Chain A
């Protein structure tokens, strides 16, 4: 999006931490230049000149509400200026009012439905679009558990009001996956989804792009795939038993189990991108 209305495309991202400071993510912008180039990432400041941050929560430990998973810029209140809706680790969504030309109010409010904060299981991933074609912006989100969710705007273009969460794509679960080697068994998005929405095939309907996070396994060098697959099943069963136990040496036993797995499979952590075309 063109965040500062200078005619150049800008790239906006969340971030998890400020190195050397309390765990709280800054809003990072790669400002666009003429010719389609980008400048190196720079933290976005609010209209008070201070780096923009999500509102502090009430945790004494790591403040997951301040960890900025994703900010999304759109004119949510219909005043002609881009606003920001930012997700966080807690799965809630903060609204920063836009003041025009890349300026945003430093203080945010939480998006709510019937007095409760809108939320997904964890790791909010806001995307604003008129999903139901009624003239206002609705909120979509992925989550740490995967899936895709809709908070329909049941207010107006200038006075948004959100309905409760509706599931568009059932979450697969965090770290979910069957006991099969390789990636041929993958049928759809895994956990930790990140959503984008557009008419991808030009049929006039809004489709979903979902990024995910999966762990794949491949047979270790010198191990027959059928043997590796059988051992992986046994290993998962052993892990499930361990997860149900409480023992003083639990961590040591977990580490031993992890190490034992390396004898028959290699771990391959990655993420893919899926398209879900609207029928």
Chain B
């Protein structure tokens, strides 16, 4: 897609939203392993009263947990575990 088309599409965005912000955890952007497809959810998974970011991905059907540190900051990610191992959703492909 050309830069011009990209800019046009950005300008069509619902004016009720502020400009998109790409999430970081620590200094690095939150990102998933190749070949991509990030699926976020926002829920308190560690029971500390603050909602955390969990991001699912295509590769191996794994999920990464980014704990909320407060004030909009996220800790570095760790793989979600199930049964003592890195959790995987089978049949993602």
A residues neighboring B (CB under 8 Å): 9, 11, 13, 15-19, 25-26, 28, 30, 36-41, 70, 167-173, 176-180, 183, 186-189, 192, 194, 196, 198, 200-201, 208-215, 268-279
Inter-chain contact A178/B1, CB cutoff 8 Å:
yes
Inter-chain contact B16/A28, CB cutoff 8 Å:
no
Residues from chain B with Cβ under 8 Å of A213 in the complex: 35-38
Inter-chain contact B23/A274, CB cutoff 8 Å:
yes
Inter-chain contact A208/B80, CB cutoff 8 Å:
no
Given contacts A212-B38, A271-B32, contact A276 B18 (CB under 8 A): yes
Bound complex: CA of A274 vs CA of B91, how far in Å?
26
Residues from chain B with Cβ under 8 Å of A183 in the complex: 29
Bound complex: CA of A180 vs CA of B19, how far in Å?
21
B35 to chain A, nearest CB (A): 4
Within 8 A of A (CB), among B31-90: 31-43, 45-47, 51, 53-57, 61, 63, 72, 80-83, 85, 87-90
Minimum CB distance partner of B35 in chain A: A269
Residues from chain A with Cβ under 8 Å of B55 in the complex: 211, 273
Given contacts A170-B9, A196-B42, contact A270 B34 (CB under 8 A): yes
Bound complex: CA of A177 vs CA of B81, how far in Å?
34
Inter-chain contact A178/B37, CB cutoff 8 Å:
no
Given contacts A268-B34, A271-B31, contact A167 B10 (CB under 8 A): no
Q: List 22 A-B contacts (CB under 8 A).
A: A11-B80, A16-B92, A28-B90, A36-B46, A37-B82, A40-B85, A172-B6, A173-B1, A176-B1, A178-B3, A178-B6, A187-B20, A196-B41, A196-B42, A198-B42, A200-B42, A208-B17, A209-B41, A211-B55, A272-B22, A274-B20, A274-B22
A79 to chain B, nearest CB (A): 24
Given contacts A19-B90, A170-B12, A172-B9, contact A194 B83 (CB under 8 A): no
- Listed from nearest, the 8 A-B pairs whose CB atoms lie closest are A271-B38, A211-B38, A15-B91, A188-B20, A194-B39, A271-B36, A38-B82, A213-B36
Bound complex: CA of A270 vs CA of B57, how far in Å?
9
Bound complex: CA of A111 vs CA of B88, how far in Å?
30
Residues from chain A with Cβ under 8 Å of B82 in the complex: 30, 37-41
User: Could you list 12 further interchain pairs (A-B, Cβ under 8 angstroms) beyond the known A11-B80, A40-B85?
Assistant: A11-B54, A11-B63, A13-B89, A17-B91, A30-B82, A41-B61, A172-B9, A188-B19, A211-B40, A272-B22, A274-B22, A277-B17
